[in-house]
Chain A
């Protein structure tokens, strides 16, 4: 076995195990921490695929920023088994069903797409920052800029929602 293959199987097992633990953990803070482990494992996968930039951005944005915000909220809500209202059985059943069908669709979509196995070996170079930047700012410049405007509008929206309306306080 090549060392990359060995790493691949290790990271895959780690990702799957921690993904399971995200679902099975009783404590929501533990779930978030396991989710961070999932993201780290996926970062490892990106590195194996020689996509260093994607790997590090995945780590900074997802494992770093977004998960910290998750932790923030969950730590302050002080959730535990006693205070949390139990969901009804039908709700749980529906959640399992919808989640399972999403997985089925994803597996079906990926199964026919044979291309992703060959990029496992660290041969591709699209994930390097130079190539990715070139592609983003030449071929995909319009969608790239549009998505940045989308982010900006989301940010403005968040500020507007978060700001206290002074007129309602007076009245």
Chain B
């Protein structure tokens, strides 16, 4: 009887989900890899340079060369550091960066071998809160790494990073409450489906989107919020003592975070896998459901690419905030704005429903 019950798990479903997880992780790693390339190319373009162009055609093999370089470098663990935590830090940073992708709907469902496969790993009914939970875990990667290095600069950078992430999480949550009052659901899939019918959320929540976007920049530690790694104040930030691929994991986690948060922004405010100005159900009759699902994924990916470009664009345009300016913006400007946005949304919803 014992084995019978264990066998009751749906193995084909498990296999399907495992394959999907593998595909999404591979995909995010490849995208993150080429975001580093794009970052250098866009920076070069903005500064009237050429950028990487030696490894492969147009320098396309540059990310692979960078990765190899990091792998072959000597791995140094400082003697006075706390070794377990020193190794745990970058691992946590990478794991938490990846975890969010589980609740993002990457497309509608496709039919393969007679099975209806949903392109979302888990459609939990608390999707957005799950994202917040994982984001709040992301702090530990920075804090543990910074503290276990046993270095004052690293510790200061880690505390800066953690306080920044906590502060902006509040405004982020408040800006989303207005959105949630409109959708009435926390499931990301439901939110996308509502946007397919009723127009994208950016139309109804422009202020909420702006606040959310600023907070996303702060959560990803990107310029203008890259105080934890301010190289002219703190040498190199919380990963100063790291070398080889452990450093690589920290740097790489930032790009994975950028990719995933672009996906979250696209899903929440820009219709997710919705193809703009096209009726999906009518299109699936003529093209077949699978093609439309793939087209939807392509639409989502195009939106993500736009936000990735925005991340890079802002990085090479806007200088870094000072620490007090950062806290001022977060606590005294974004939070009141988000609260006002919430109130206005609530009043309008009640007024329309009257």
Q: Is B298 at the interface (CB under 8 A from chain A)? A: no
B124 adjacent to A36 (CB under 8 Å): no
Q: What 1/0 mask marks residues of chain A from 46 to 80 whose CB sits below 8 Å from any chain B CB?
A: 00000011001101100111001001100110000
Quick check: is B74 within 8 A (CB to CB) of the other chain?
no
Question: Measured between alpha carbons, how far is A2 from B140 in the docked complex, in Å?
Answer: 34
Instruction: Note all chain B residues with C-beta closer than 8 A to A146.
Output: none
Q: Which B23-57 residues have C-beta < 8 A from chain A?
A: none
- Closest-CB distance, B208 to chain A (whole angstroms): 20
Tell whether, in the assembled complex, residue B159 and residue A76 are in contact, meaning their CB atoms are under 8 Å apart: yes
Complex Cα–Cα for A76 and B160 (A): 12
Q: Which residues of A are interface residues toward B (Cβ below 8 A)?
A: 1-3, 6, 27, 29, 33, 36, 52-53, 56-57, 59-60, 63-65, 68, 71-72, 75-76, 128-129
For A64, give its contact among B2, B6, B130, B139 (CB under 8 Å). B139
Can you list, as one digit per residue, whether each of B130-146 has a CB less than 8 Å from chain A (1) or not (0)? 10110011011001100
Inter-chain contact B136/A53, CB cutoff 8 Å: no
Given A29-B147, A56-B133, 4 more contacts at CB 8 Å? A3-B8, A29-B85, A56-B126, A75-B159
Q: How large is the interface on B (under 10, 10 to 19, 20 to 34, 35 or more residues)?
A: 20 to 34
Residue of A nearest to B128 (CB): A56
Chain B residues within CB distance 8 Å of chain A: 2, 5-6, 8-9, 82, 85, 124-126, 129-130, 132-133, 136-137, 139-140, 143-144, 147, 155, 158-159, 162-163, 166, 186
Least CB distance from A28 to B in Å reads 12
* List of B residues within 8 angstroms of A3 by Cβ: 5-6, 8-9
List of A residues within 8 angstroms of B143 by Cβ: 68, 71, 75
Name B173's closest neighbour in chain A (CB-CB).
Answer: A60
- Bound Cα distance from A56 to B144, whole angstroms: 22
Cα A57 to Cα B163 in complex, Å, equals: 20
Cβ A1 vs Cβ B159 within 8 A:
no
Contact indicator A68/B166 (Cβ below 8 Å): yes
Among A2, A53, A64, contact of B137 (Cβ-Cβ < 8 Å):
A64
Give Cα A53 to B187, complex, Å: 12
Interchain CB contact under 8 A, B129 and A72: no
Given contacts A1-B6, A52-B126, A72-B162, contact A59 B133 (CB under 8 A): yes
CB-CB nearest 6 A-B residue pairs: A64-B136, A59-B133, A56-B129, A56-B133, A75-B147, A60-B133
- Asked whether A36 lies within 8 Å of B140 as measured between CB atoms, the reply is yes
Q: Is the CB of B125 within 8 A of A52?
A: yes
Q: Which residue of A lies closest to B158 (CB)?
A: A75
Contact check: which of B125, B162, B186 meets A68 at CB < 8 Å? B162
Instruction: Verify A63–B137 contact, CB threshold 8 A.
Output: yes
